[in-house]
Amino acid sequence: MKVPSRLPAKGEYSEVARQARLEFLRSETGVALDCVGTISFDSERVIHNTEALIGSVEVPVGIAGPLKINGLFALGEFYAPLATTEGALVASVSRGAAALTLAGGVNAAFLGQRMMRVPYFELQTLCEALRFRAFVIDQLPSLQAQVKPLTQHGTLIAVEPQLIGRIVHVHFMFETGDAAGQNMVTTITWVLSQWLRVQFHLHTGHVIKHFMIESNLSSDKKASFQSFIQGRGCRVVADCVLSEAVVRQVLRTTPQGIVRCYQRGVSGAIAAGMLGINFNIANAIAALFTATGQDIASVHESAIGHLHLELDADGSLYAALVLPSLIIGTVGGGTGLPQQRECLDLLGCAGMGGKSKLAEIIAGFCLGLEISLGAALAADEFASAHEKLGRNRPS
């Protein structure tokens, strides 16, 4: 049996190590990797982001806006950097932003945040599980005291044990400041879980039969009704009122037409078993996440927003959008990389104090996309717009 070749410089982050990996791949595959092998940052900048670095993939960034936002934290006009390869997306977001701005702007409110990790504890019997549940609830003050030296951003706000027979899933709920906090709460929850296992044995003589740091109950990077109803990450809401004149002038349709399309979409969403109702906020979220250094895999749960449209008495269009589980941060993760940091600077959200503002900005631009996409469907321009701007074919 042939021994497989091993990638060189394992665990090393220097430029010398990166070049060694590139030369190895060129030799093994025959691919020059001239484009992928070009980077604009120091190799060691990604020491906490990417292992076995060889290069980078450049994603085009378009700019959408301006969008006037009347938020609790985001006030003024904003331009959104959208990293995307999907034609028509930037144009559609910009059109929606223009309509919202002409109507006086979009209102936005950051409502709160929470991040969770839910480890699995298995006891011998239901009776032991009930004792462990009560023990965990009683230990909340002690658990909170242990969190303080472990993080400068996180605070443990609650522990909620959930029983399934002799199994106890403990929901550790945190506020994570300006960090997204997924890795943070994983580490802290593991430390607290080990302490609970020891203390429970000392107090009761019972032993945790099996432990696992996560058994899917936190819905990490997965869409779920739990995240939709209770929230995970940031919860933010945006709304607006568009007069019939604005809808006709900018969106080339009517409020009645957009609401009819929305109602048809609600019916289809129910038939499909969709979580929440929206046209396609994942597009805007993914583009903003990529541009600003967010965890792109979190788009899955971040895009379960709920859109509500209706007609006011004067014929105006009322629109509201709730994002219950927007997983974002303005410190940590990829937010410190140079290009991503510039995009956060463009939004005025880089560093400490920027998370609430970023959440409101994302909600505002998502609502702009929803309005524009609804209008395109109502005016039967959806296909023609993608034909004009999105198809990858010669003229």
Smallest CA-to-CA distance from 364 within 276, 236, 277, 254 is with 236
CA–CA dist 388, 383 (Å, integer): 9
SS (H, E, C) 303-354: CCCEEEEEECCCCCEEEEEEEEEECCCCECHHHHCHHHHHHHHHHCCCCCCC
Annotated catalytic residue 386: yes
The active-site residue out of 206, 306, 308, 386 is 386
CA–CA dist 386, 181 (Å, integer): 37
Q: How many residues are listed for the chain in this entry?
A: 395
* 3-class secondary-structure state, position 156: strand
The structure tokens 């993939």 sit at 57
Q: What is the dihedral of CA 335, 341, 344, 346, to 10 degrees?
A: -170
Annotated catalytic residue 86: yes
CA–CA dist 64, 284 (Å, integer): 10
Provide the token pair at 216. 């899917």
The active-site residue out of 175, 214, 295, 342 is 295
The active-site residue out of 12, 86, 160, 342 is 86
Active site residues: 86, 295, 386
